[in-house]
Amino acid sequence: MSAHYKAGDDAQFRHHLQPSTSGIISSLLLRERERERERERMSLFSQFRMGNCLVYSSDPYIHTHQMEENSCVTTTTQPVKDCTPFTPILPFSSLSDLNSVYSLGRELGRGQYGIIRSLKRRSSGALFACKSIAKVSLSDPQQMERIMSETCIMKRLSNSTCSFVDGIVRLHDIIEDKDFIHLILELCRGGDLYERITENKRYTEVHAAFLMKSLLESIHFCHSMGIIHRDIKLENILLVDNSETSPIKLADFGLPLEFTKGQTFSGLAGSSYYMAPEIF
């Protein structure tokens, strides 16, 4: 199964560039991205507390920070059950009390609709990541549709028995309470590929080939399931651990499209600094 997509979000940036020019532009892009991140961190505002999460309404992206192998998850000694009645917005049934099953830990990252925190299952001690999406940020129908699409597509991918599903950050559970939709995700402790490249400065050809093979297998798996990611970038490629040979996983299905064989799409989607220059 295949699809043609003229969006450029997954396009290779350096395809039409000479090698020497490509190196210079890559360096400039990395520097500009670092400056952009710093500006975005400085512009965070409208902080408010809701339930057990903090939300910053101006955050333009979700960024996952590195997590140490032996880092601890903060737990509460006695879970407090919230019995406040509410009308669910998800089109399927789910648990409604996060604290009865999991204990929330420290913050790992934040985004436009909520934050990501470490999470521990009370019964087994298993560690996960919790992406908590504030319902107050879903007042716009388009935003609601995007979240619904993300949850349904992640459920489809995570329930697959294909071996290549290991290259995708898996969704383990969904919990909806009065204020939030909580996505319980596979925990990746090694940060994202952008951070790793910034630290290492360069990769050997063998290592780069290994990463590209893993990424292409993940993309092929998505396409075989009739799903286009539309926002493949370094920040959405997570490392399982802090080792130099850590496997990678494709994350953040906030902009995907579902397609059928022979269907075509056109238009712009994704992150502008990763698009092919001829698109502009």
Low-confidence ranges of the chain (pLDDT < 70): 1-83, 111-113
64 and 177, same domain (yes or no) = yes
pLDDT of residue 52: 32
155 and 95, same domain (yes or no) = yes
Domain edge (last residue) among 167, 185, 203: 185
Q: Taking the model in full, what pTM does it have?
A: 0.68
Look over the chain and give the mean of its residue pLDDT values, rounded to a whole number: 77
Per the DSSP assignment, residues forming a β-bridge with 191 are none
Residue 120 annotated in ligand binding: no
pLDDT of residue 131: 92
179 and 53, same domain (yes or no) = yes
133 and 241, same domain (yes or no) = no
Write the CB contacts of 239 (distance below 8 Å, at least 6 apart in sequence): 188, 189, 190, 191, 192, 193, 196, 246, 247, 248, 249
Q: Are 167 and 217 a contacting pair, CB within 8 Å?
A: yes
112 and 142, same domain (yes or no) = yes
**Number of separate domains in the chain:** 2
201 and 214, same domain (yes or no) = yes
Q: Are 227 and 3 a contacting pair, CB within 8 Å?
A: no
In one-letter notation, the amino acid at residue 106 is R
pLDDT of residue 9: 47
Write the CB contacts of 60 (distance below 8 Å, at least 6 apart in sequence): 40, 112
Which CATH number goes with the domain that contains 81? 3.30.200.20
Burial of 57 from C-beta contacts in 10 A (0-12 / 13-18 / 19+): middle
Place of tokens 């490392």: 239
pLDDT of residue 18: 47
Domain edge (last residue) among 154, 185, 216: 185
Q: Which domain holds residue 174?
A: 47-185
Name the residues annotated as catalytic: 231
pLDDT of residue 232: 93
